[in-house]
Copies of this chain bind each other. A is one copy, B any other.
Amino acid sequence: MFSKDVYTRRRKTLLDKMKGEKGIALFLGNVESPAQYRDNCYKWRQDSNWLYFFGIDEPRFAAIVDLESGMETIYADDFDIDDIIWMGPQPSVSSLAERVGVKNTASYGAFDIAVLKAVIDGRPVHFLPASRYYNASKMAALLGLNVQDMFSAGKAGCKNASESLVKAVIEMRLVKEDIEIEELDKAGALGFEMHTRARKGIKPGRIEQEIVGEMESVALSKGWGVSFPTILTQHGEIFHCHTHEMPAVPGRLMVVDAGVESNTHYASDHTRTYPVGGRFSTRQREIYQIVYECNELAYSLIAPGVPYLDVHVSVCRHMLERLKELGLVRGDVQEMVNLGIAGLFMPHGLGHNMGLDVHDMEDLGEDLVGYDAGQKRSSQLGLASLRMARRLQPGNVITDEPGIYFIPDLINLWQKEGTDKGFVNYERLKTYFDFGGIRLEDDILVTPEGARRIGSERLPISPDEVEEAMKND
């Protein structure tokens, strides 16, 4: 938890941004999330918006801010003797509220009454999209709305949530404060340590799951845990690969995409790709070099005022130029850029915002978080998945994560449907069907001067650095 001033200041700023709005703003902390039954829950994780404005890292808290009077109330229940036997002596709700600068407290049940009273009085009720089913269900019942409409719908926002509140929160959380950058740097340093442990574990014959367990022990020993389910796979062309049954096969590429969440709940997110056995083949090195260049190119372009959308497109252009040299595509590069041919090789976006969430604020709506007012999301494969397109500002923290993948099903589909308009050399491309994929990801802070990487040391990234590191592991 930060000091009281931090939370008081943030809520003051929010109130200023909401000036002129009537009614009340609701904030709901999380409740525990059952894994198997209600008393065996997943590891406790507080709601990020709650953490940002109210800091208290305990379940079953809620708050109301009166946008007109400025009055703030925290709603939660004190513990009784049964709780004390099972959970030990606990601080009172009022003492916790005091630590984050809130004077008024009431029971958790009183929150519902206060909301219903506002509804009856005809006062506007501002709230954020839900991130979990429990809060969605609670709010839907209170306000007589449909549960499914309490979430952001895919890339769009949530139709029931307050757009003014959502936009005010996004504006604030997009630009990280110095104390947040410190926490992100700490998370990044833990990420370095976790990825180093992973790299040292990648030895021919070892089961992927063993390596995952070892690396995640760093996240658990020194942080809250992983910031998202670890991807460690010799099928890098599959983005969300969560099975880890394969032994490490010499000659394959191992993609490791993983992050740590610090004890203060800030995320890291890095990806490296390693040759099992320690040496890249010529073909692997050729593709790896292109992805490496794309990562470096993006970093060199990141600066205040530059739309991250443009950086994504520049990366696509460079990727296509270099793939053309390898004979995988042919023809005019600018035309290929316009047609989105890079999407065949990199069907995802160049990066996303990071902070208290690894995809920061994704519950608030991808487009609202990642796109400026004038920007419209493209429907092209690749660009359509770009989560961060905005004009960069100092204090933004984003990922830089180009990749090249050979996805047989997708290649076959493009060929069948002629999506490439003749730019792709399928004959050659199909010799890469067993290649897998490569992704290289760093976390970047936009500074007034340009950019710097988040964390401590940079993980080895050039092909030579990687081989050298693996030689010494």
Contacts and interface: CB of A to CB of B under 8 A. Distances in A.
20 contacts: A33-B35, A35-B42, A36-B356, A36-B357, A36-B358, A37-B131, A37-B362, A38-B363, A40-B228, A40-B358, A85-B347, A85-B407, A88-B241, A133-B134, A141-B147, A210-B222, A212-B220, A213-B219, A213-B220, A214-B217
A362 B229 contact: no
Given A217-B214, A235-B88, A238-B88, A36 B40 contact: no
Nearest to A34: B132
A137 interface: yes
A152 B37 CA distance: 9
Interface stretch (A18-26, A43-51, A420-428): A43-51
A221 interface: yes
Chain A facing B: main interface SS: mixed
Contacts of A212: 220-221
Interface of A: 33-45, 47-48, 81, 84-89, 131-134, 137, 141, 147, 151-152, 209-214, 216-222, 228-229, 235, 237-242, 347, 356-359, 362-363, 407, 409-410, 413
Contacts of A363: 36-38
A246 to B, nearest CB: 13
Given A39-B362, A81-B409, A81-B410, A213 B209 contact: no
A242 B225 CA distance: 14
Contact of A131 (B34, B214, B409): B34
Nearest to A215: B217
